[in-house]
Structure 1
Amino acid sequence: MISIGATRSTTTPADRARIALPAGPIRGLAVRAASLAGFLALWWAVAAVKLVDPQFLPGPQAVWDAFVRANSWHQLAPGVPREVPGEQNYFLWEHLLASLQRIAAGAGAAVILGPIAGFALGTSRTPATIVGPYLNFVRTLPPLGYIGLLIVWFGIGDTSKIWLLFLAAFPPIVIATMAGVHQVSADRINAARSLGADRLQVVTRVLLPATLPEVIGGIRVAVGFAWTTVVAAELNNGIPGIGGLAFLAGQQLNTALTMACIIVIGLTALTLDAVISWIGALVVPWKGQA
């Protein structure tokens, strides 16, 4: 018989430390915050000792100053009383808003038309066989490979930029939707037909719910890819635009402003992805995060 009083705890100090740490989201947030603080400290130290030329790697304070300057009124030049807004006569948030409007037009059209085309091709084998290779061809093309052609066709205005973003987002959504349709069991479709469902009812009540996770996943990939092409879309006449500002700042060797734009572009991408993930969790709760 084992005496209760003689039982000793076998918990090690490492185990107690792990138990003491907050679990779940709080622990994850603490780890991320510590990681960010460590990265900023390392960045500041490298910049402070000028291990890298400040022209190539400005410190966090310089990048922050560039961000603040891009969002405030300031003198056009030392000794000149005239004040101008932000950079290139626009505040940074106005540049960001202009890029988001282009994304909304280009990628938004792809989000609407992509699933429709994907369902049509996914349920029709012959058209899918014909169109599929062209979709993959466009999907694999780098945006810089055809931006010049779009400018020739549509000019240097927003039309060519919107077309570029549409072409970046449309193929991934169509292909993801087709894949989702092809994964639906034929038994489910035949069962619906045996119960009297017509083609439209099969699509809306069987195929659509079953393929929604794939569609949401395709939209996430497509919008992310479209956002990464925003700099390419705004190489020509991209002001206002966050990508155009980043490109122009780089040409002017304004590294601090370039890095500020890059950080804003990255944070915006994370926000867009989080929003789409949240919408996906609402639309397909049985799959959790789409």
Structure 2
Amino acid sequence: MSTATATATAAPRTRPARRPSRVRRWWPHAATLAVLLLVWSVVAASDVVSPSYLTPSPREVWDAFVRANTNHPIGGGVDRVVRGEEGYFLWEHLLVSLQRIGAGLAAAIVVGIPLGLFMGTVDWAGTLLGPYVDFLRSIPPLAYIGFLVAWFGIYDASKIWLLFLASFPPIALATVNGVRGVREDQLHAIRTLGATRRQTVTTVLLPATLPDILSGVRVAVGFAWTTVVAAELVNGIPGIGGLAYLSGTQNKIALSVACIIVIGLTAIALDALIRTIEKALVPWRGKD
């Protein structure tokens, strides 16, 4: 028997790793959710919080969600049907908020990425403008509401500006960090080949910076969603944040909780969408 044959015989066969089934991957999440709903139901049924309407049960939250998405008769024996909540279905409130967030985020991308490229490639621009972008990043969005409403009124312009101010800093700073992480030898090589500044940006800087830009967009989307309630505090109907705030002031706690859950689930869905886009555009990220 040859040495190669003996080695092949002695070497144990390795089985390919099996991917966990969907059931095995999802049952821990389902079990955790079941325990959470059980604890929630027990707390709502007990007298831990008084009065009892401050702790709606999962069933009451579900009923409020269904009511907000259907037509229902008004109380008091009046033969009139009310459409959803505040004249809109819940999904319509959500759609309006998504449109506002989309407008603010789009403006932040249009301004933040070019500014980040400028700050990252021009030393004096980064030194001069960097502290101001950091200053904007450190200010809570609620601090802007008063003068934004005074400047732009109570309609969508002030809300979009607020969402822009919440989304712009993380995108700009992520772009700057991405540019500064590009290897100098890559830039020297393409310049040696006679590339112009525009060609250097489009063929080297942007592709190399794209993973950081997408990370900044993910952070910006999170900031925008945490700001949506603040953006819709004034004249926020229709709007999911405005409905959450208004229902809370009217002691419709079940509806307010339903709005909060919808906001959270939508944020998770948007984050998953951005991660999917990131995998498609930068499949090499995380690989050696």
TM-score (norm: length of structure 1): 0.89
Quote the residue 2:67 is aligned against: 69
CA shift, 1:25, in A, is 5.0
Q: Number of aligned residue pairs: give it.
A: 269
Residue number among 74, 94, 101 corresponding to 1:103 in the alignment = 101
Quote the residue 1:158 is aligned against: 156
Quote the residue 1:204 is aligned against: 202
Residue number among 131, 134, 137 corresponding to 1:136 in the alignment = 134
Task: Return the letter of the residue paired with 2:80.
Answer: R
- What is the CA–CA distance in structure 2 between the aligned matches of 1:22 and 1:200, rounded to whole Å? 45
Quote the residue 1:232 is aligned against: 230
1:113-262 alignment runs, 5 A limit: 113-262=111-260
Q: Give the percent of matched residue pairs that are identical in Structure 1 and Structure 2.
A: 58
Quote the residue 2:3 is aligned against: none
- What is the CA–CA distance in structure 2 between the aligned matches of 1:26 and 1:286, rounded to whole Å? 29
Residue number among 251, 254, 267 corresponding to 2:265 in the alignment = 267
Quote the residue 1:279 is aligned against: 277
Q: What per-residue deviation string (whole Å, max 9, x for no partner) do you get for residues 64-96 of structure 1?
A: 011011111112223111111011111111110
- The alignment status of 1:46 with 2:43, answered yes or no, reads yes
> Is the contact made by 1:47 and 1:57 (CA closer than 8 Å) also made in structure 2?
yes
TM-score (norm: length of structure 2): 0.90
> Is the contact made by 1:72 and 1:91 (CA closer than 8 Å) also made in structure 2?
yes
Quote the residue 1:112 is aligned against: 110
Alignment gaps of 5+ in structure 2: 1-17
- What is the CA–CA distance in structure 2 between the aligned matches of 1:228 and 1:24, rounded to whole Å? 34
Farther-moved stretch of structure 1 (257-266 vs 103-112): 103-112
CA shift, 1:202, in A, is 1.0
Alignment gaps of 5+ in structure 1: 1-20
Residue number among 74, 81, 84 corresponding to 2:82 in the alignment = 84
Quote the residue 1:17 is aligned against: none
Moved over 6 A (4+): none
Farther-moved stretch of structure 1 (72-81 vs 260-269): 72-81
> Is the contact made by 1:281 and 1:288 (CA closer than 8 Å) also made in structure 2?
no
Quote the residue 1:9 is aligned against: none
CA shift, 1:28, in A, is 2.5
Alpha-carbon RMSD across the aligned residues, in angstroms, is 1.6
Cα pair distance change 1:61/1:23, threshold 3 Å: same
Task: Return the letter of the residue paired with 1:39.
Answer: L
- What is the CA–CA distance in structure 1 between the aligned matches of 2:60 and 2:47, rounded to whole Å? 13
CA shift, 1:26, in A, is 3.9
Q: What per-residue deviation string (whole Å, max 9, x for no partner) do you get for residues 233-255 of structure 1?
A: 00000000000000001101111
